[in-house]
Structure 1
Amino acid sequence: MKSRYNIPCNIAQSLNIIGDRWTLLIVHEILNGQTLFNEIKKALPGIPSNLLSDRLKYLEEEGLISVELYSDHPPRYRYTLTKNGEELEHVFNTLIIWGSNNLQKCYKKLIDPKTGDEVAVAYINKKTGEVVDTVEVIAVQEELQRAGDE
């Protein structure tokens, strides 16, 4: 896959990896336990086999999935998420929450299994573990500048 965005932005660079049509849906199916080619294809009606094959190869190259040969004749593979791939679960959950808040026809919602109540996204301070009420996006160079000023 070619890099489409030459912008110094985490979102743009992430989309260079996962922004192609079907890519996030493929990762989501693997996350949901569809680990074989035919399982993924069946779960995603309309995806051409050659496109699925190309996307799986690309996701492996990018380190989001790992591939294991489980049958020699014919060759068949099992796809699993790497740690980097598993971290996309938070993105999926956030999209589910966004959809439940904004789509006219909602298919899923994210709930607390203990209470059945819907949940929301929260930001946690990595250092203190406390919930943060507001966040600010800063450039990495700006962060390095602030650290140098202290």
Structure 2
Amino acid sequence: MKMQYNLPCNIAQTLNIIGDKWSLLILHQILVGRETYKEIHDELTGIPTNLLSERLKSLEIDGLIKRELYQSHPPRNKYTLTKKGYDLEDVFNSIILWGEKHLDTCYKKLVHKNCNHSIEHRYYCSNCNKVVKIEDISVLDPNEQ
């Protein structure tokens, strides 16, 4: 059974879904095109097979991936991200950007496909049509409005 945070916090509640060991890495493998159990397992050196099976089931229950049978004997499934799962792409990119800035060894970089130069993360307000500085962002509790 997964450890659950019992806090009224978006971060804590999101971690209840994707914060256990391997889940984000599994989701990232599916995002980059690895669809089968074998493809995912081969890329995630060190993950026990029973844990991969458990995480895939949990991610399906949480609505982040969907499973589709592509072979019946023996049963083989392919996994794809749902819309909810694809919405984690910004999280993956933010983690990559953080790693570029803070890891001793940088393994991946985010670059603009057209010119191959590094990109930056920006916040944008669609109401004002402006880029917003981080110091001008506040966290709002909708229950306190």
TM bin, normalised by shorter chain, reads over 0.9
| Equivalent residue runs for 1:54-73 within 5 Å | 54-73=54-73
Cα 1:121–1:73 change in 2 (3 A) is same
Name the structure 1 match of 2:6. 6
For residues 43-88 of structure 1, what are the alpha-carbon distances to aligned partners after superposition, in whole Å with 9 as ceiling and x for unaligned?
0011011100000000000000000000000000000000000011
For residues 9-61 of structure 1, what are the alpha-carbon distances to aligned partners after superposition, in whole Å with 9 as ceiling and x for unaligned?
00000000000000000000000100000000000011011100000000000
- CA displacement at 1:3 relative to structure 2: 5.0
1:106 partnered with 2:111 = no
Name the structure 1 match of 2:48. 48
Size of the aligned set, in residue pairs, is 143
Matched residues, percent identical? 52
Give ranges in structure 2 of 5+ residues lacking alignment. none
Residue type of the partner of 1:66? K
Name the structure 2 match of 1:141. 143
Contact 2:30 2:40 in 1 (8 A): yes
- CA displacement at 1:115 relative to structure 2: 1.8
Name the structure 2 match of 1:148. none
Residue type of the partner of 1:30? I
Q: TM-score, normalised by structure 1?
A: 0.91
Deviation beyond 2 Å, 4+ runs, structure 1: 126-130
CA distance in 1 between counterparts of 2:126 and 2:143 reads 20
Cα 1:127–1:2 change in 2 (3 A) is same
Q: TM-score, normalised by structure 2?
A: 0.94
CA distance in 2 between counterparts of 1:103 and 1:52 reads 27
| Equivalent residue runs for 1:31-42 within 5 Å | 31-42=31-42
Cα RMSD over matched residues?
Answer: 1.1
